[in-house]
Structure 1
């Protein structure tokens, strides 16, 4: 028997704190006071007999005990939400919710959504973007049906499955006419003289970027700007001499249109799988299945075209 003292409010508050890594942020999201959120989490810890969060850091982090509980609590809440929606018989048929990383939201997803909406009139498509960790937390709690983007690290894939669509590399994008493009003997260390736009620490490609920079002896980047915003990155590099380190799919159309250029450096070692991440315990809805097929079709067309 589940301890009857554990209530839905305990689970919901815990999951929100784990997602935002902040007691204050969770309180705002749940429209309760911060002391109330703190008390709710403390009550849950007492009922479970273990500490869920490591409070010694600047931002809250799950303990090993908390990681295990989060995995099962998020899955259970997602299943409960889906059961309620199925019983009502309306929500799942009317909406598909997609978590999309920048690499697919810029190039693959627009074409897929256009095809999907043409064949699924009356279905609302909700697109949510953000860092990979944030999107996976939404997937676990049932707030999105699928996540499309690079595959996460293995330790983040417990309870989740991945379907590979294509592989993609990281590139270094600059404005046309950038001084480094004229360097007679280009090497990656030349970027140290310019401002650099980097993926944020919680971005799925950040470890890949750090490895290739270290491998080429790049250790002193100038005035780093961390961002996952396509709009900001695109606008900033067009106006400055900054160098944008980003997944190729984000800037592919800009390069094809002559708005951006790619630095002549071999980044094949950054090649990584892009595809769908879904929950293993919950079948996809009809709408989600239909959108996934539309994404597959677009990815296949790009692959055949050499993209």
Structure 2
């Protein structure tokens, strides 16, 4: 049974402190004094009988009990917000809808488990998932046709007017079919001997791939197919001797089951951030807040790191 001494202000203050990592910033955001918010946190810790946060020179750090409590506190606030929005929609038959843009690097690996978590937390929300290249999705986001976009960080010119929150990092892989002749004597300079499926101009990974190949001494690739189509890449690579240069997340399932094989080249220098892109002037609604919780849950389960 929930201890009746726990009030909404306790939950709200705790979540704000955890998000801001600072008592002062959280107090400013809630229009409270720092002593008042500190007292509220102490009351909550006394009620639950555990230290939820520690203070150090870097700011506020969550303890293990604090991390557990934060997860459910965020869900509680998001659920309350959903309830309030539901009251506002009373008489309207439309269900809440969340529109998510998914770049190829996350559409087949990260988004599916996130949707499982999200469906458990918000089964009444309709999620519309739109996939496509970076420039297309970012434009839809800026126009308000998407609520958020998940994927690789793009070039600075494409990210103007967009907020980016990093979730984890991933590298680029070079993959081929099982039994490919290049697997017998791996040499990255030999990829020019076969067709190469290459990221097109404007793709988020294009600059990383270009720098990587230059660093490896790979010259002009005479026979290349430029596309971000995961469907085409999977079929064409399995049926031919093509070498596919693609974000690891796109082919995670195929390399795991052996349908495609990652060439044993060190691609560490292609490591780049994957994150959430939103409009900086927008406030996340309840559905988006729950979606963010689902993403953090999956990141923890999969052991993804920044």
In structure 2, the partner of 1:154 is 156
Q: C-alpha distance in 2, partners of 1:124/1:109?
A: 15
Residue 93 of structure 1, CA deviation: 5.6
In structure 2, the partner of 1:134 is 136
Residue 157 of structure 1, CA deviation: 2.5
1:15-70 deviation digits (Å, cap 9, x = unpaired): xxxxxxxxxxxxxxxxxxxxxxxxxxxxxxxxxxxxxxxxxxxxxxxxxxxxxxxx
In structure 2, the partner of 1:144 is 146
Distance 1:164 1:93, change over 3 A: farther
**Contact 1:97–1:126, Cα closer than 8 Å, also in 2:** yes
In structure 1, the partner of 2:107 is 105
Residue 154 of structure 1, CA deviation: 2.6
* Stretches of structure 1 lacking an aligned partner (at least 5 in a row): 1-84
1:151-173 deviation digits (Å, cap 9, x = unpaired): 12233333321111111000101
In structure 2, the partner of 1:19 is none
Q: Secondary structure at the match of 2:204?
A: coil
Paired residues for 1:7-46 under 5 Å = none
Residue 92 of structure 1, CA deviation: 9.0
Distance 1:120 1:224, change over 3 A: same
Flag as ranges the 4+ runs of structure 1 deviating above 3 A.
88-93
1:193-212 deviation digits (Å, cap 9, x = unpaired): 00000112111111111111
1:122 aligned onto 2:124: yes
In structure 1, the partner of 2:285 is 285
Aligned length: 219
**Contact 2:95–2:126, Cα closer than 8 Å, also in 1:** no
Paired residues for 1:149-298 under 5 Å = 149-183=151-185, 186-298=186-298
**Contact 2:192–2:223, Cα closer than 8 Å, also in 1:** no
Distance 1:91 1:138, change over 3 A: farther
Distance 1:91 1:113, change over 3 A: farther
Bigger shift: 118-127 or 129-138? 118-127
Q: C-alpha distance in 2, partners of 1:182/1:287?
A: 50
> Under a length normalisation based on structure 2, what TM-score does the superposition of the two structures give?
0.67
Residue 107 of structure 1, CA deviation: 0.4
Residue 91 of structure 1, CA deviation: 9.5
RMSD: 2.2
Residue 192 of structure 1, CA deviation: 0.6
* Stretches of structure 2 lacking an aligned partner (at least 5 in a row): 1-84
> Under a length normalisation based on structure 1, what TM-score does the superposition of the two structures give?
0.67
